[in-house]
Amino acid sequence: MIENLQWTREPADYSILDERITITTAPHTDLWQRTYYHFRNDNAPVLQMETEEKFFSFVVKTDFSGSHHRFDQCGIVMYLDAGNWMKGSVEYENESFQHLGSVVTNHGYSDWATTAIPADVKVMWYRFSRREDDYCIECSRDGEHFSQMRVCHMWEGAGKIRFGIYACSPEDSSFTAVFTDMRITECAWKAHDGQQPDE
C-alpha cells in the first residue's frame, strides 16, 4: 500500500518505512476554507493514494504523543483540491482537553463537527469508508471497536478520489505525527437497513 502513496504537498521532514510513516509538521500549516473564520488555509502536507473503487474502507492508527500546542493535529484525509476535501483528527487544545472532530469542505466552504475528549488521549484509530459519493468517518481507541463521527456527501467525490493521511500545526508549533497499521478492507460501512429510498 505504501508504494501507492504520493505527496500532494511534501513536508521538509518526514520518513516512510514499510510499517511506519512519520510527518514532522511545520508551523502555520493548515486546511480550512472560509466559514466563520473567513480565512483560507491550504498548505498542510497530505500523503494520499488514488482509487476509482466505489466501496471500500481505509484504516490507520495515529500517534500524536508529541502534540502540545493549540490546533496541532493529524489524521485521515480525502483531499481532492483546495475547495473539496474532508478530514478527521484530534486537535490539541490545552492540558485539559482536545477536540476529536471532522471537517467537510464542499465547493470552498468548510464545516467543523467536534466533541471534547481528555488531553491525555494520544492515540486514535480512524476508519474512512466510501459508498459511491457518500462517506463515513469513524474513530476507535483500540482499532477494533469503531464509533461514527460523520456521514457526509461529497459533491465532487463520485469519480476518482485521493485519500490518505495528513498532519499540520496551524499556529507557531511543530510536532511529529506517527502513522501505522494502515490497511484497506472491503467496505465496513454497510448499506442502510431501514427506511427505503424515495422513488
Number of domains in the chain: 1
**Residue at 77 is within a domain:** yes
**Residue at 11 is within a domain:** yes
CATH number at residue 17: 2.60.120.200
pLDDT, tens digit, 9 for 90 and up, residues 94-151: 999 999 999 999 999 999 999 999 999 999 999 999 999 999 999 999 999 999 999 9
Output the average pLDDT for the chain.
96
Q: What is the pLDDT of residue 199?
A: 67
C-alpha cell belonging to residue 68:
502540545
- Residues 135 and 137: their CA atoms lie apart, in Å, by 7
pLDDT, tens digit, 9 for 90 and up, residues 29-86: 999 999 988 889 999 999 999 999 999 999 999 999 999 999 999 999 999 999 999 9
Those residues whose C-beta lies under 8 Å from the C-beta of residue 58, and which sit 6 or more positions away, are: 76, 127, 128, 129, 163, 164, 182, 183, 184, 185
- Residues 19 and 16: their CA atoms lie apart, in Å, by 8
C-alpha cell belonging to residue 114:
467536534
